[in-house]
């Protein structure tokens, strides 16, 4: 396994205007390194108040297997949020309704990126006839998911490289489909 160091040049720290245009698009081959930078930023910038430095480092290490990451991302077929041409976040929706990845870069937190991605996931789920969304959600993302109507089904302890991280299995029934 060849490890690659995160390329800091892939992160965007733009002086965005309050109403910068946002685009939600499908994944394109070649997005993998930028998505890794968003993942790293999201974990280290936004989850640092809920997890220790050791937990953050095992969850999103600086050095990673680029081939393994690329394979996982390509398999998940994420939706990409772009702001002013910069990848600001990404999320995926599996056929089962499982949301495996939902990450917003730290520089874009609080700018509507997560809201736009979640709305897109809901629209996609409705179009696909998916009746329930569920995800394994970090402690830092739990309030956001709750605002979107997700409830906690179970508290979980996940082990990565011998380090335990807490998260929650959350789900939401989609009333328009389930009623």
Q: What residue segments make up the domains of the chain, in order of their start?
A: 3-8+21-130
Query: How do residues 29-73 score in pLDDT, each as one tens digit?
Result: 999 999 999 999 999 999 999 999 999 999 999 999 999 999 999
- The architecture (CATH level 2) of 3-8+21-130 comes to 3-Layer(aba) Sandwich (3.40)
C-alpha distance from residue 62 to each of 4, 43, 71 (Å)? 8, 11, 18
**CA atoms of 6 and 40, how far apart (whole Å):** 8
pLDDT for the residue numbered 88: 97
pLDDT for the residue numbered 175: 62
What six digits make up the tokens of 11? 């992160």
pLDDT for the residue numbered 6: 46
pTM: 0.88
What six digits make up the tokens of 89? 């976040």
């Amino acid at each position: 396994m060849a490890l690659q160091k995160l390329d800091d040049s892939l992160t965007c720290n733009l002086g965005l205007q309050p109403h910068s245009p946002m685009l939600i698009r499908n994944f394109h081959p070649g997005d993998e390194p930028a998505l890794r930078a968003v993942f790293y930023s999201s974990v280290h910038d936004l989850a640092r108040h809920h997890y220790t430095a050791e937990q953050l480092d095992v969850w999103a290490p600086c050095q990673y297997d680029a081939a393994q990451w690329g394979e996982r991302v390509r398999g998940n077929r994420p939706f990409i949020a772009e702001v002013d041409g910069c990848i600001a976040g990404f999320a995926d929706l599996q056929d089962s309704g499982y949301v495996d990845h939902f990450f917003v870069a730290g520089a874009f937190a609080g700018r509507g990126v997560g809201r736009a991605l979640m709305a897109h996931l809901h629209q996609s789920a409705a179009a696909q006839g998916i009746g329930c969304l569920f995800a394994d959600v970090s402690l830092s993302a739990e309030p956001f998911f709750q605002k979107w109507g997700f409830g906690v089904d179970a508290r979980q302890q996940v082990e990565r490289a011998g380090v335990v991280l807490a998260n929650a299995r959350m789900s939401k029934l989609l009333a328009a489909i389930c009623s």
